[in-house]
Chain A
Amino acid sequence: MTSLLEVTDLVKHFPIKRGVLIDREVDQVRAVDGIGFTVQRGETLGLVGESGSGKSTACRAVLQLIEPTSGSVRFEGREIAGLGRRQMTPLRREMQMIFQDPYASLNPRKRVGQIVGDPLKRQGIASGSDLRRQVQELLERVGLSSEHYNRFPHEFSGGQRQRIGIARALALKPKLVICDEPVSALDVSIQAQIVNLLDNLQDELGLTYLFVAHDIGVVRHIADRIAVMNEGKIVEQGSADQVCEQPKDEYTKKLLAAVPIPDPKESRARQQRSSVQ
């Protein structure tokens, strides 16, 4: 059986242009510089790295939201790199995205029912009372109430907004969900709620996640396998426990050392160790 998603040698370079009348390309930003990974059905692949490591660009290139410079992205065995907008439209049902900022990713002038229902309408799947029923079911599935249908995004807290974003991503019953920093804008206590919700939805609906974050502590919790990204390249890849417990790459070790340990004695011991070094 083929993997759900297979990415090979994916490259995205952004040109740096100079000049007044004639744009000359003087250099390139190598945001994604030849990465490869596979995601199997039903698993979660965590993609970790700092800001600027290229992880968000990688997500967008996988989804064809930006056109990759070169490389291949295979979804269920079918090449999608370079497909046009129209050709991608039917495939959008299969792959959806959850965004980082729950304040910026929901249109403030639309009601929740409309936000969650729009993908269904646009793909011509449901309309009228059927649409309403499906949207209300989705809201309940993500831990909101069907009475929230007519509310506006500003009436909700950050965690609840992220639930709306999740409902919207699930509306088309996708196979692959790309989560780009879904919890980093939330309070720690609410992060746990959202991570658990994603876990439960995966079990219930058989979803496959590509989970992107800068906090390797959160990624380790949700991911089966982890790929660590630095400066546009994947520097280490392996099972979540293996990467976190026996990291091989220096950069992975640096990421792990930065995660705060919520234990004052441990943290004092760690500080002493690092001051000795």
Chain B
Amino acid sequence: MSQPLLSVEELRVGFATEAGVVQAVDGVSFDLRPGEVVAIVGESGSGKSVTAQTLIGLTRANNARIEGSVKLDGKELTSAGDAEMRSLRGEKVAMVFQDPMTSFNPVYRIGAQIVEAIRAHRPDTSKADAKARVIGLFESVGIPNAEQRVDDYPHEFSGGMRQRAMIAMALALEPEVLIADEPTTALDVTIQAQILDLLEQLNRERNLATILITHDLGVVAEVADRVLVMYAGKVVEQGTLDEIFYDPQHPYTWGLLGSLTRIDRPRPQRLPQIAGQPPSLLDLPQGCPFRPRCPHEFSKCSEYPGLEARLAEKPDHCDRCWLGPDEKRAKRLVEGQIGLEAPR
């Protein structure tokens, strides 16, 4: 197996607030190899976006405390200076944000904004060369009439086209790692399908390593190689795509899988749901933070298990649940399908 391009170890990110320290990310570790797509899945507040933003140095605030290690090509990023980080951003690691409506400056032409990014990193590039490059990028991400559209303003682009332009901007300096933070959440399903196809094609053609952040396991199934499921700042389960979908070990993963509407199956009377709300990070329950929402909770859950491989012959499929593998297989079957509990 090839060397990891990006290696995250025991990453912890906390923010000091008036109400106390919010530990948004609490010990996340994973490796990313060239050409691989790793998905980080979780609900709002699970720490998935903070993880992504920390990798690219966007959480460096006065009240933030970042511990652990993020190594890109062997280089430590958590201790890199701001200037150094700025030169890596875009060159090595680029990010696509969730909201294509607010990610561009509305008063500058889209092409000019990307030209600016290119020339900030490569001052020798002439404006004309940079613009030609933007046109080429627009073509490769599927924006029709690229030559005219570089001179358009953001409001002249539709949501899907703006997200394509975002991706073009992220690719402008040929980064090795692309972080896509909920890239399709603000889009219609039809446009979502197109953007996912595009990401997959780029990943194949450019051997781009991708981190995909999303709350939707349906999106994950289309593109990811490996999956990390996060809950309350910690990874509760990780494994390959097929392991997570066909042999999920953590009840939270069952709940996420169960609550999807499926067009390829007869519809149930009620959708299986995960009851309750994600916990406040300021007031986590003792032991497993999923305990209050878990119907399978028992005495051992007052202690939080570590992220370990609990299946023989599957050393990379890890989870944090005390239930034994056979118990899990029995309990996760709800009306013949994987789910957390029968809908009420």
Contacts and interface: CB of A to CB of B under 8 A. Distances in A.
A160 interface: yes
Given A50-B188, A51-B188, A187-B43, A157 B261 contact: no
B115 interface: no
Contacts of A160: 277
B202 to A, nearest CB: 15
Contacts of B191: 50
A110 interface: no
Interface stretch (A17-25, A73-81, A130-138, A256-264): A256-264
Contacts of A196: 270-271, 273, 343
Interface in A236-266: 240-241, 244, 254-266
A62 B245 CA distance: 43
Contacts of A244: 263
Nearest to B224: A264
Interface residues of B, number: 43
Given A262-B217, A262-B218, A190 B43 contact: yes
Interface string A122-151: 000000000000000000000000000000
Contact of A264 (B190, B192, B245, B278): B245
Contact of A254 (B190, B241, B270): B190
Interface stretch (A83-91, A169-177, A213-221): A213-221
A189 interface: yes
B334 interface: no
Interface string B217-229: 1111110000000
B217 A188 contact: yes
Contact of B256 (A189, A259, A265, A271): A189
Interface string B171-210: 0000000000000000011111100100000000000000
B185 to A, nearest CB: 9
A192 B272 contact: yes
Contact of B245 (A52, A157, A214, A262): A262
Contact of A189 (B158, B193, B215): B215
B261 A220 contact: yes
Nearest to B343: A196
A11 to B, nearest CB: 24
Contact of A262 (B189, B260, B273): B260
Given A195-B271, A220-B267, A267-B222, A258 B192 contact: yes
Contacts of B218: 188, 259-262
Interface of B: 43-45, 158-159, 188-193, 196, 215-222, 241-242, 245-246, 255-257, 259-264, 267, 270-275, 277-278, 343
Interface of A: 50-52, 157-160, 187-193, 195-196, 199, 214-218, 220-221, 240-241, 244, 254-267, 271
18 contacts: A160-B277, A188-B217, A188-B256, A190-B43, A192-B271, A199-B270, A214-B188, A215-B261, A217-B262, A217-B263, A220-B263, A255-B189, A258-B193, A259-B263, A260-B221, A261-B221, A262-B220, A262-B260
For the complex of A and B, the 10 pairs showing the least CB-CB separation, nearest first, are A260-B218, A192-B259, A192-B273, A258-B193, A192-B271, A258-B190, A262-B218, A217-B261, A187-B215, A214-B188
